[in-house]
A and B are shown apart, each in its own frame.
Chain A
């Protein structure tokens, strides 16, 4: 009995340590974002006089504040909108093209299954830096630099192979009988795919949809290369400007950090079940 109590205590202590490791770095940023500049320079955690000052800076869109970092902060609302447009389109393309390809790979034996799967996985193994220059030149020759389209295309290249891989694994767990019944009832293959198959695979689709959206939202490298003005710059690129401003208060960066992460974290929490099951199951299955 006593042994059991000791065991439980150790378990809870270890769980708390693990949880702290996971949240502490980000928690510090959240807390600092509510602090006065002076307070943030002392090592302590709970803001004494919480303030929203660091946040208001981001929403004075037409202000002319000369404060360090104000110019960057003012671009945030528009940049968040850009990220949303880019991420949403990337998600849509992933779901549409990805589910078509994954369906063929999971359900039909057409001789090219393994070759195509290796082609997709192989394309994922090429690092971004390896193709940045030709990709940049391609975008330039089609006049796509500094447009959402350039960033969307770049993000699709690295999310789509992953989407296909995960969806293929997920699709294989759906029983075959359902489509067979639909086909017998005179449904075409495409009809069976859209009307019978895709609706029952919604959890997997949500998982890869959210996954591709969050991947696109957080991507920085291609976005940095392909965008130059606020008309297309996503929020990661705007936030990176803070890294160049040496005199800026960390409290302002912290507020920006919270704003950038807000949407992905909310999405991740809402759809956590789908993400954990979808990704975990498909990768190991």
Chain B
């Protein structure tokens, strides 16, 4: 009798265990099924092209001579890495990207801290942030081409201030507008930063609202200045969002320069604004050198991935320190 119950019990137990695992397995399969459509889309449209791109980058393949298709190993990479074009566009991109990321973070934090204060019209001020964000990149490029064009508002203002500077100091600096490489490149950065600030700002605003108010009140009681409060309370709380913005903006600077360059400078004057995305596009659809442009593509991917890994490591190290 007693043996029987024990058997029953174990049988019952093992049954619940196996039933649980079947249910668990069912859940597991269900979870994967939910991800199947997204994974298929991304595999087909990103992973597959990435592999094809690698394969093409190892071949000589120019659309002008499509029958001259041959495996050249790392030949395209050697060509690219020994070319002036690559290093020039990399320099331009690093300047464009570095300036953009730094300016976006500084401007966005400043505006977020400001818009986090109590003042009349705060809701409206925050809503205004959505304007630059809603402007498509290509329209943004056309817009800044207008602003820096011959009759553009910014062009005239900068021209006038150059004139004033010359008159005051007796210097003789000629203002060339967009014909000057430095002005053209920095105008492109100004355009890119203007459009990128709102997104970063929204992230920083959310982060600022998560900071407990007691910390500020305690600091105020201790007589800490506004700057010290920012340095010792605000900034540490913002480190995590800053890294997120830095990652997103670095990616955007490497890929997103394209729209603005297309509409604002077309790479000019000369090759002053040849960011690497523009250089790759020109290599593919200007010179029709598909092998070489795929080598460019791979180098860009490696650089952005490398930067992302660096950021993520820094992010997680900070994360553990903060606990």
Q: Which residue of B lies closest to A42 (CB)?
A: B151
Question: B38 to A138, Cβ gap below 8 A?
Answer: no
Pick from B28, B136, B241: contact of A283, CB below 8 A.
B241
B162 within 8 A of A: no
A243 within 8 A of B: yes
A116 within 8 A of B: yes
B145 within 8 A of A: yes
Pick from A11, A29, A97, A133: contact of B143, CB below 8 A.
A29
> How far apart sit A14 and B226, CA to CA, in the bound complex (Å)?
15
A-chain residues with CB within 8 Å of residue B199 when the two chains form the complex: 279
* Stretch binding the partner chain, chosen from A52-60, A195-203, A250-258: A250-258
What 5 A-B pairs come out closest when comparing CB atoms? A280-B206, A218-B136, A134-B49, A134-B52, A110-B31
Known contacts A119-B39, A283-B206; decide if A127 and B251 are in contact (CB<8 Å). Answer: yes
Q: Which residue of A lies closest to B254 (CB)?
A: A127
A161 within 8 A of B: yes
Pick from A15, A131, A214, A243: contact of B134, CB below 8 A.
A214
Question: A269 to B34, Cβ gap below 8 A?
Answer: no
A78 within 8 A of B: no
Per-residue interface assignment for chain B, residues 29 to 72, with 1 indicating a CB less than 8 Å from any chain A CB and 0 otherwise: 01110110111011011111110110010000000000000000
B126 within 8 A of A: yes
Interface hub of B39, B45, B110, B119 (most chain A Cβ within 10 A): B45
Known contacts A22-B131, A133-B290, A281-B206; decide if A32 and B49 are in contact (CB<8 Å). Answer: no
Known contacts A116-B35, A125-B251, A133-B56; decide if A265 and B130 are in contact (CB<8 Å). Answer: yes
A5 within 8 A of B: no
> How far apart sit A42 and B206, CA to CA, in the bound complex (Å)?
42
Question: A220 to B205, Cβ gap below 8 A?
Answer: no
Minimum CB–CB distance from B312 to chain A (whole Å) comes to 9
A144-173 CB contacts (< 8 Å) to partner B: 153-154, 156-157, 160-161, 164
B267 within 8 A of A: no
Interface hub of B139, B142, B210 (most chain A Cβ within 10 A): B139
A247-285 CB contacts (< 8 Å) to partner B: 250, 253-254, 256-257, 260-261, 264-265, 267-269, 272, 275-277, 279-281, 283-285
Q: How many residues of chain A get a CB closer than 8 Å to chain B's CBs? A: 92
A-chain residues with CB within 8 Å of residue B308 when the two chains form the complex: 125
Question: A18 to B153, Cβ gap below 8 A?
Answer: no
Pick from B156, B207, B259: contact of A43, CB below 8 A.
B156
Per-residue interface assignment for chain A, residues 213 to 255, with 1 indicating a CB less than 8 Å from any chain B CB and 0 otherwise: 0100111110010000000000010011011000000100110
A68-120 CB contacts (< 8 Å) to partner B: 97-98, 100-101, 103-105, 108, 110-112, 116, 119-120
Interface hub of B121, B136, B259 (most chain A Cβ within 10 A): B136
Q: Which residue of B lies closest to A276 (CB)?
A: B202
* Stretch binding the partner chain, chosen from B4-12, B75-83, B291-299: B291-299
Per-residue interface assignment for chain A, residues 22 to 66, with 1 indicating a CB less than 8 Å from any chain B CB and 0 otherwise: 110110110010000000111101000000000000000000000
Question: B27 to A189, Cβ gap below 8 A?
Answer: yes
Question: A284 to B45, Cβ gap below 8 A?
Answer: no
Question: A134 to B35, Cβ gap below 8 A?
Answer: no
B102-154 CB contacts (< 8 Å) to partner A: 107, 110-111, 114-115, 117, 119, 121, 125-139, 141-147, 149, 151-153
Question: A261 to B50, Cβ gap below 8 A?
Answer: no
Question: A160 to B34, Cβ gap below 8 A?
Answer: no
B-chain residues with CB within 8 Å of residue A105 when the two chains form the complex: 35
> How far apart sit A12 and B125, CA to CA, in the bound complex (Å)?
11
A19 within 8 A of B: yes
Question: A98 to B38, Cβ gap below 8 A?
Answer: yes
Minimum CB–CB distance from B34 to chain A (whole Å) comes to 4
Known contacts A123-B47, A133-B284; decide if A160 and B111 are in contact (CB<8 Å). Answer: no
> How far apart sit A8 and B118, CA to CA, in the bound complex (Å)?
10
Question: B50 to A26, Cβ gap below 8 A?
Answer: no
> How far apart sit A242 and B115, CA to CA, in the bound complex (Å)?
36
A191 within 8 A of B: no
A184 within 8 A of B: no
Q: Which residue of B lies closest to A263 (CB)?
A: B134
> How far apart sit A25 and B264, CA to CA, in the bound complex (Å)?
14
Question: B35 to A101, Cβ gap below 8 A?
Answer: yes
B301 within 8 A of A: yes
> How far apart sit A100 and B119, CA to CA, in the bound complex (Å)?
41
Question: A126 to B50, Cβ gap below 8 A?
Answer: yes
Known contacts A131-B50, A153-B45, A239-B139; decide if A97 and B37 are in contact (CB<8 Å). Answer: yes
Question: A112 to B32, Cβ gap below 8 A?
Answer: yes
Question: A284 to B146, Cβ gap below 8 A?
Answer: no
> How far apart sit A12 and B117, CA to CA, in the bound complex (Å)?
10
A-B contact pairs, 27 of them (CB 8 A): A22-B128, A23-B131, A25-B132, A29-B143, A32-B146, A43-B157, A98-B38, A101-B39, A111-B28, A120-B38, A127-B254, A127-B277, A129-B277, A130-B300, A133-B49, A138-B48, A153-B41, A157-B45, A214-B134, A220-B136, A220-B137, A250-B151, A260-B139, A272-B126, A283-B206, A284-B241, A284-B244
